[in-house]
Structure 1
Amino acid sequence: MANHAVLYLLFVVEIFPKGLTDVIQTQQTVMVKVGEDVHLSCQLMQTKDVLQVTWQKDLPEGKKNIATYSEHYGQTVNPGFQDKVEFKDAGLKNCSIVIRKVMEQDEGCYLCLFNTFPDGSLTGRTCLHLYELHEPILQIRESNSTEETVVSCSATGRPAPTVTLNVPQQDLYFSNSSTVSVTNTNATVTVTTTAVLSGFRGNDAQVGCAARLLSVPEIQVFKTIPAVNQSSDDETGSDKNFISIVASFTAVVVSVFVFTVLLHKHKNRSFQLSTQMRLQTPQDENQKEEKTE
């Protein structure tokens, strides 16, 4: 029951009416996560003749009774709150209630009234505020540079959370940081922080993101950037160089082959022409001799 409630108390004591300090001890402000149970307590610090303790909710249209306790009538939870509110400690000196599965409509201020004789009503006031904080989403984008990459982190909460990027390695650093906030339809706010991570030297790099909300414990997530990702551009460049070398070598080999084939054909043609000329020369000489005779 109460073990599941997550409470963060900002201030401890508020006393009503004015001048009755140290009479009622209560929490001035309580923060609770949406969907959790919350424990509200009131304690009378002085000896008084208490007849009844009443819990109320302070609404714009007026105060509405939630529950009462007296020795004569015992515990009473008013209709409309019976599935939502129950007593945790019921007493005339120390009286506390638990509100189950707190939702947006439960947010507001609550009053505990110690009805005493003959002093009248002594009132303590506790204001309940809801918070919502989801685990941040950390993204690492690819970059054309081997020494830097773009990192972004988003967190959704109510009220707006603070999102911080961090890197444990001393030789790495963030620059060009920017933050954008977007209000969602359910009253939560999504905050995205983006920055350039620089200083890579070919080793693994770990980056972290922290989401904070008022006094609520922060939520952190981490990601590792492998060295292979950091040197991917170098590897791509090496591959391109290798391909260029192979292509150049292939072109040279093909050129030499074509030149050799052409040269061989040229020699064959020259040989054939020379042979034909030799065969024709004796015939011409015989013809000349016949004409002379």
Structure 2
Amino acid sequence: MVCVCVCVCVCVCVCVFAAAVTAPASLNAVVGHPLLLGCNITTSPGNIVSQVRWHSWHNKILIAYKQSVQVRISHQDPNVQLTASLNNASYITIKKVEPDHEGCYRCVFDIFPDGMREGKTCVSVSGQSESDPGNRTAVSGRLANLSCWYNLPERVHQVLWRKTAEQGDTTTVASCTKDGHQSITEPFVGRVGLSRNMSVTQLTVRSVRTEDEGCYTCEFHTYPDGMKKATTCLSVYVLPKTDVTHVTSPSGVTEVNCTAQSRPAAEITWKVEGDNRTLGPPVLSVYEQGDGTTIVTSMLLFQSGLLSDRSVKCIVHHLGLTEPLTMSLDPDGEELADPLLVPHSFFFFFFFLTTLLLFNIRHMCKCN
């Protein structure tokens, strides 16, 4: 009998994973805004994260803390906040980004017993353009100022303003370069001014017209951020031109017409003191004009006796007015309005008296 011995060798492989840190390779931050930075770490069993440190691009410690049941911070920059501290992650927030915050940031994990592991994120900083909040309004014939700004003026090489009309047509209004060269396009020459400031740019429209209404965009041509822009829209108001006329019929019914021409359309209301003896509600008529204004006429009928002891007032409301315009009819039936709004009948009466007086003087001279 022959005996054969067989030897079997069994190899057991044990894999040991080294700790690794992952972080975004790059991020973009905006000046004046917060920035969130984060790192994740994977560790092998038995390893413990004892401390976490964050370093800025010039190796300044932003925050350092010991990882335990209760986080203990040993160093913290006033502009840095610890957002999240987990066994496998660390997140911090830079509260307000400044231009010099551009660079690479390191998160460093001190691990026992493996040693130090770190991740890196490089941050690029750009500026932001902003304009005056909300839309702007201006009164026809007055001044309008439009402003916007860019918070990294040293990167601006040119500022350019464009206007987009309601129909969608876009026109270049003005531009200014870093070396001080300024250009105003032909339709706006003499009426538009532009500041030479590369940080805060202001477009001034003198003696505003209705055709100046539209949306204005300021463009900051920068390097290396590219073009940044902001838009604000301008609405042009035309204050009401008002008039009050009336006529009384033989039957004793007085018709009063209160008219306001403006942009946008005005609202007309009536106030009758005491007992209301009007003959029905006011009748409203609206007429659109070619110049963009609207004529609104409100007609009111009442018994003529109402004027002898009651006050009848026409009140005009408009978005461009700080308070409504009020026009009254006196007991004699004469309109009492703004002195600048003298009724047309007065001028006709004055013209008639003047003509009659001149005729009599000439006739007397001939007789002599």
Contact 1:65-1:78 within 8 A present in 2 as well: yes
* AA aligned opposite 1:135: K
Any residues of structure 2 matched to 1:264-275 within 5 Å, and which? none
Query: Aligned partners of 1:228 and 1:118: how far apart in 2?
Result: 73
2:223 to 114, 117, 131: 117
- TM-score, normalising length from structure 1? 0.58
Structure 2 CA distance for partners of 1:93 and 1:163, relative to 1, 3 Å:
same
2:266 to 161, 164, 180: 161
Query: Aligned partners of 2:285 and 2:148: how far apart in 1?
Result: 42
Query: Aligned partners of 1:187 and 1:53: how far apart in 2?
Result: 32
Q: Secondary structure at the match of 1:136?
A: strand
1:144: Cα distance to partner?
5.6
* AA aligned opposite 1:165: W
Tell me the alpha carbon deviations over residues 79-134 of structure 1, each in whole angstroms, 9 at most, x when there is no partner: 443222112x4312211111222334333221111222222222111222222233
Structure 2 residue aligned with 1:26: 132
Q: Among all aligned residue pairs of Structure 1 and Structure 2, give the percentage whose two residues are the same amino acid.
A: 25
Structure 2 residue aligned with 1:213: 318
Q: Which has the higher contact order (CA 8 A, sep 6+)?
A: 1
Structure 2 CA distance for partners of 1:170 and 1:133, relative to 1, 3 Å:
same
Contact 2:277-2:306 within 8 A present in 1 as well: no
Higher Cα Rg, which structure: 1
Structure 2: 5+ residue runs without aligned partners?
1-125, 335-368
Contact 1:43-1:93 within 8 A present in 2 as well: yes
C-alpha RMSD of matched pairs (Å): 3.4
Tell me the alpha carbon deviations over residues 130-161 of structure 1, each in whole angstroms, 9 at most, x when there is no partner: 22233321223325677x74332111122322
- TM-score, normalising length from structure 2? 0.47
1:228: Cα distance to partner?
8.9
1:92 to 191, 195, 198: 198
Contact 1:66-1:81 within 8 A present in 2 as well: yes
Structure 1 residue aligned with 2:300: 195
1:189: Cα distance to partner?
1.9
Query: Aligned partners of 2:186 and 2:233: how far apart in 1?
Result: 22
1:40 to 2:146 alignment: yes
Structure 1 residue aligned with 2:212: 106
* AA aligned opposite 1:54: L
> Which structure is higher in helix share?
1
Structure 1: 5+ residue runs without aligned partners?
1-19, 230-293
Contact 2:160-2:218 within 8 A present in 1 as well: yes
Contact 2:210-2:237 within 8 A present in 1 as well: no
Any residues of structure 2 matched to 1:103-252 within 5 Å, and which? 103-142=209-248, 149-167=254-272, 169-172=273-276, 174=278, 175-197=280-302, 203-214=308-319, 216-217=321-322, 219-226=324-331
Structure 2 residue aligned with 1:243: none
